[in-house]
């Protein structure tokens, strides 16, 4: 998967103009703009061109605005229309005008569109495997970002960047992200995960690391008619003398409901009872 992604990135980087216009069609973006009732002026840097340019900029090795504007110029030159100045201010202003709701809508549509094309040969036992994971991202050091996503307390003011924690569910078959949530850095991965379970479909199998292995969450996922495969948390002891051997490297054990719900799982426990 990683090799194919790198090949695609290299192809995009070597392309002239805006290669995303072949993947994210004008008609798709225009439909999303109409559905969201987003009005815009017909100009060189309209939301469509700006979005193509921004996506290319994110993937490009050279992420400078100057490099991105040069790609926009190459694209417009091929259309035979007015060529903008090489100054980057117009593009930067257009980028700041991109509505977040538009990005969110196209994000969901792109993942769903790929999911609909998956055939049974890419499924596991005719079931779709979704992978869940968490990570952190840094962002520009602005007052708004610092307020919403404070930098680590270990860093002195003015010496760090705002950092957020993100949780993502992506399809193992397509590699596309299906759902995403964002919160402050010190939130635990499992709390982000509980915001993402709603995006699972019946019969999905959720695959994750040991951070997501909790009794309450396995029950919550099971109630969605899904199954989960998580590595056992290192703090949870399991006796190898108990359980039933079902294969050379497999053992079936029973995980009984805890007598007392851990504090971190109270919210999930209340939801289940409701």
Q: What would the pLDDT profile of 66-83 be if each residue is shown by its tens digit?
A: 989 998 888 888 777 777
**For residues 23-31, average pLDDT:** 91
How far from 238 is each of 55, 144, 214, 234, 242, CA to CA, in Å?
47, 46, 14, 10, 8
Q: What is the pLDDT of residues 89-110, one digit of tens each?
A: 999 999 989 988 999 999 999 9
Question: Which of 231, 198, 207, 217 has the alpha carbon at shortest distance from 133?
Answer: 207
Exposure b/e, 107-144, CB count within 10 A at least 16 = b:
ebebbeeebeeeeeeeeeeeebbbbbbbeeeeeeeeee
What is the structure's pLDDT at 42? 77
Least confident segment among 81-85, 108-112, 141-145: 81-85
On the question of pLDDT at 227 being above 90, the answer is: yes
Q: Higher-confidence residue: 261 or 152? A: 152
Write the burial class of residue 212 (CB in 10 Å: 0-12 exposed, 13-18 middle, 19+ buried): buried
Q: What is the pLDDT of residues 30-48, one digit of tens each?
A: 999 999 999 888 777 889 9
The pTM of this model reads: 0.79
In the sheet where 163-171 sits, what is the strand order?
177-184, 163-171, 129-138, 205-208, 227-230
Q: Higher-confidence residue: 7 or 126? A: 126
The Cα 18–Cα 91 span in angstroms is: 14
Give the mean pLDDT of the chain. Answer: 85
Q: What's the N-to-C CA distance of the chain in angstroms?
A: 41
Least confident segment among 29-38, 148-157, 173-182: 148-157
- Quickly state the pLDDT bin for 271 (edges 50, 70, 90): very low
Domain ranges for the chain = 2-102, 122-237
Contacts 24+ apart (CB under 8 A), 265-270: 265/214, 265/215, 265/216, 265/217, 267/194, 268/194, 268/216, 268/217, 268/220, 269/216
On the question of pLDDT at 263 being above 70, the answer is: no
What is the structure's pLDDT at 5? 63
What is the structure's pLDDT at 273? 43
Phi, psi torsion values for 182, nearest 5 degrees: -135, 145
Give 166's strand partners: 135, 182
Exposure b/e, 57-80, CB count within 10 A at least 16 = b:
beeeeeeeeeebbbbbbebbeeee
On the question of pLDDT at 184 being above 60, the answer is: yes
Q: What's the CATH architecture for 122-237?
A: 2-Layer Sandwich (3.30)
Contact 219, 272 (CB under 8 A): yes
List the structure tokens of 111.
């993942």
């Amino acid at each position: 998967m990683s090799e194919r992604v790198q090949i695609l990135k290299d192809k995009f980087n070597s392309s002239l103009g805006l290669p995303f216009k072949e993947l994210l069609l004008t008609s798709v973006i225009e439909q999303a703009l109409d559905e969201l009732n987003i009005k815009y002026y017909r100009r060189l840097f309209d939301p469509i061109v700006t979005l193509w340019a921004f996506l290319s900029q994110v993937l490009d090795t050279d992420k400078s605005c100057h490099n991105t504007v040069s790609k926009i110029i190459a694209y417009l030159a091929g259309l035979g229309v007015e060529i903008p100045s090489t100054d980057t201010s117009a593009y930067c202003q257009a980028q700041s005008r991109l509505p977040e709701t538009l990005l969110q809508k196209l994000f969901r549509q792109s993942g769903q569109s790929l999911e609909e094309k998956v055939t049974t040969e890419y499924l596991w036992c005719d079931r779709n495997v979704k992978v869940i994971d968490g990570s952190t991202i840094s962002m520009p050091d602005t007052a708004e970002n610092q307020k919403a996503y404070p930098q680590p307390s270990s860093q002195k003011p003015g010496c760090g960047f705002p950092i957020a924690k993100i949780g993502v569910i992506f399809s193992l078959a397509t590699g596309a992200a299906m759902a995403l949530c964002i919160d402050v850095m010190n939130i635990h991965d499992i709390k982000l995960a509980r915001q993402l379970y709603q995006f699972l479909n019946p019969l999905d199998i959720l695959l994750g690391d040991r951070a997501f292995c909790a009794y309450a969450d396995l029950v919550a996922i099971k109630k969605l008619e899904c199954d989960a495969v998580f590595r056992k948390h290192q703090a949870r002891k399991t006796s190898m003398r108990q359980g039933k051997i079902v294969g050379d490297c497999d053992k079936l054990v029973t995980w009984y409901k805890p007598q007392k719900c851990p504090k971190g799982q109270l919210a999930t426990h209340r939801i289940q009872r409701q």
